[in-house]
């Protein structure tokens, strides 16, 4: 990393346009809702400006903290599953012949060109009691039963009972993983693609097995991609509200749903803003601490 003063012109050219855009079209609007988060709700849902911490106090009531913890938990599980499903895909694309890479990437992203709502509806058609997955299972069950009957055990498997796959937390996780896969695959692909294969070859040549090479050479090398992708998936899953709404049962309220309701039906923009900022503050602090640690480390290194 170089100091910005070394080349102020290039620094300004790279950082300037995005900073300008984000300042004007994100930070200023953000400050407006930040001010709202200290406000009060009017009788018809107007937003009265005030200096009240009531919204924040309300946000840390046990019931709201519980919802937040649950969202973190669901988000973490979704991220883990996403990693398991997405890693092979990203690796497959990154190690494909170069002229196949971009088309493959497009094929992976293509399902996401259809609308989120339509895709989620399609999952309902797949997972419901009389859905395609259960139809498939029923077919297998029937054939298996038939085979058992041939072998002299009629009705060994009994009647087919369709699985209740929809309207529970599993369905929510499946939906969240599906919706957020590209956010894992794309950064991961971008990191894997540049991987210097001689490291892997060296590891294999030195006698490490495929798995050992994978976990102690490949994974550490692509850690930045894993971290970025996992972070994106985690944050987006945690805040999603459509998937829990459509695929979840009666207990799948997540923080995103609550915030959407505060801005919507409850018309409590101040409380909605306070809840939103309760999510944003930790992330902000994370980045600040992260930068402080990095600076401390470089300074230590310089001293040594």
Partner 1 sequence: MSTLPARSMRRRRVRGTNPLEYLKRPWMQLTLLASFVFLYFPIVTLIAFSFNDSRRNITWRGFTWKYYEKAFNNASLHDAFVNSMIVAGTSTLVSTALGAMLGLALYRYRFPWKGTYEGVAHLPIVIPEICMGVAMLVFFNAINMDLSLITITVSHIAFTIPFVAVVIRARMAGFDVSLEEASHDLGASEWQTFWHITFPYMVPGLVAGALMAFVLSLDDFVITFFTAGVGSTTFPIKIYSMLRFSVTPEVNAASTVLIVITLSLTLIAMIMQSRWAKGRQE
Partner 2 sequence: MKTMRGRFLPRISRRAFMQGSAAAVGISFAGSAGRSWSAEEKRLNVYNWDTYIGETTLGTFNARTGIVVQYDLYADNEELFAKLKEGNPGYDVIVPSDYMVEDMLALNMLTPLDHSKIPNIRHLDGAFTNPAYDPGMKHSVPYMWGTIGLGYRKSKVDGPLVSWADVFEPERAKRYSGRIAYLGDMRAVLGCALKYLGYGMNTTNASEIAKARDLLIATKPHIKTFAEDNGQDLLLSGEVDITMEWSGDIAAVMEEDDDLTYVVPQEGSNVWVDNLCIPTGAPHPENAHNFINFVHDVDVHMEIANTIYFATPNKDAKDRMPAEYTENPAVFAPQEVLKNCEALLSVGEHTRLYDEAWTAIQAS
Residues of the shown chain interacting with partner 2 in the complex, contacts defined by CB under 8 A: 41-46, 63-64, 66-67, 124, 128-130, 164, 166-167, 245-246, 248-251, 253, 257-258, 261-268
Interaction between residue 76 and partner 1 (CB under 8 A): no
Give the integer Cα–Cα distance in Å for 187 and 176: 18
Interaction between residue 67 and partner 1 (CB under 8 A): no
One of 76, 122, 137, 253 touching partner 1 (CB under 8 A): 122
Residues shown for the chain: 304
Interaction between residue 236 and partner 1 (CB under 8 A): yes
* 301 touches, from partner 1, partner 2, none (C-beta below 5 to 8 Å by class): none
One of 63, 113, 158, 159 touching partner 1 (CB under 8 A): 113
Give the integer Cα–Cα distance in Å for 134 and 164: 9
- In angstroms, what is the minimal distance from the CB of 44 to partner 2? 5
Interaction between residue 253 and partner 1 (CB under 8 A): no
Helix, strand, or coil here: 52? coil
Between 101 and 267, CB nearer to partner 2: 267
Both tokens assigned to 211: 């798995």
Interaction between residue 25 and partner 1 (CB under 8 A): yes
Interaction between residue 132 and partner 1 (CB under 8 A): yes
Please report, for residues 23, 73, 98, 221, 231, the alpha-carbon distance to residue 243 in angstroms, rounded to integers and kept in the order given.
Answer: 31, 15, 36, 33, 19
Give the integer Cα–Cα distance in Å for 185 and 293: 28
Give the integer Cα–Cα distance in Å for 184 and 91: 12
- In angstroms, what is the minimal distance from the CB of 135 to partner 1? 11
- In angstroms, what is the minimal distance from the CB of 245 to partner 2? 5
Compute φ and ψ for 265, nearest 5 degrees: -55, -35
- In angstroms, what is the minimal distance from the CB of 41 to partner 2? 7
- In angstroms, what is the minimal distance from the CB of 146 to partner 1? 25
Count CA atoms closer than 13 A to 241's CA, side-chain side.
12
One of 77, 165, 166, 259 touching partner 1 (CB under 8 A): 259
Q: What count of other Cβ atoms lies within 10 Å of the Cβ of residue 277?
A: 19
Q: What count of other Cβ atoms lies within 10 Å of the Cβ of residue 14?
A: 12
Residues 34-53 that bind partner 1 (CB under 8 A): none
* 253 touches, from partner 2, partner 1, none (C-beta below 5 to 8 Å by class): partner 2
One of 204, 253, 266, 267 touching partner 1 (CB under 8 A): 204
Q: 163 with 180: CB under 8 angstroms?
A: no
Interaction between residue 272 and partner 1 (CB under 8 A): yes
- In angstroms, what is the minimal distance from the CB of 258 to partner 1? 10
Give the integer Cα–Cα distance in Å for 229 and 264: 30
One of 62, 152, 158, 207 touching partner 1 (CB under 8 A): 207
Which is nearest to 131 in space by CA: 166, 171, 176, 169?
A: 166
Residues 138-197 that bind partner 1 (CB under 8 A): 178, 181-183, 186-187, 189-191, 193-194, 197
Q: Give the per-residue SS3 of 64-77.
A: HHHHHHHHHHHHHH
How far does Cα 169 stand from its chain's mean position? 16
């Amino acid at each position: 990393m170089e100091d910005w003063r070394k080349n102020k012109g290039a620094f300004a050219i790279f950082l300037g346009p995005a900073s300008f855009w984000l300042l004007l079209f994100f930070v200023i609007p953000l400050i407006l809702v930040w001010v709202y988060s200290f406000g009060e709700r009017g009788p018809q849902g107007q937003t009265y400006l005030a200096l009240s911490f009531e919204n924040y106090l309300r946000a840390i009531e046990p019931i709201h903290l519980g919802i937040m913890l649950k969202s973190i938990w669901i988000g973490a599980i979704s991220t883990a599953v996403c990693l398991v499903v997405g890693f092979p895909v990203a690796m497959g694309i990154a190690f494909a012949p170069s002229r196949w890479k971009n088309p493959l990437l497009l094929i992976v992203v293509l399902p996401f060109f259809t609308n989120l709502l339509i895709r989620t509806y399609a999952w309902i058609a797949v997972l419901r009691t009389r859905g395609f997955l259960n139809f498939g299972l029923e077919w297998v069950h029937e054939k298996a039963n038939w085979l058992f009957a041939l072998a002299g055990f009629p009705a060994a498997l009994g009647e087919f009972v369709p699985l209740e796959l929809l309207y529970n937390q599993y369905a929510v996780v499946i939906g969240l993983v599906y919706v957020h896969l590209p956010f894992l695959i794309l950064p991961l692909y971008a990191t894997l693609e540049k991987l210097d294969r001689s490291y892997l070859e060296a590891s294999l040549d030195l006698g490490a097995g495929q798995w050992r090479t994978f976990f102690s050479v490949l994974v550490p090398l692509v850690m930045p991609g894993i971290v970025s992708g996992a972070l994106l998936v985690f944050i987006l899953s945690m805040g999603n509200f459509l998937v829990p709404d459509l695929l979840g049962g009666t207990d799948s309220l997540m923080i995103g749903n609550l915030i959407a309701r505060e801005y919507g039906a409850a018309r409590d923009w101040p409380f909605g803003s306070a809840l939103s900022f309760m999510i944003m503050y930790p992330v902000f602090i994370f980045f600040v601490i992260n930068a402080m640690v990095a600076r401390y480390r470089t300074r230590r290194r310089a001293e040594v």
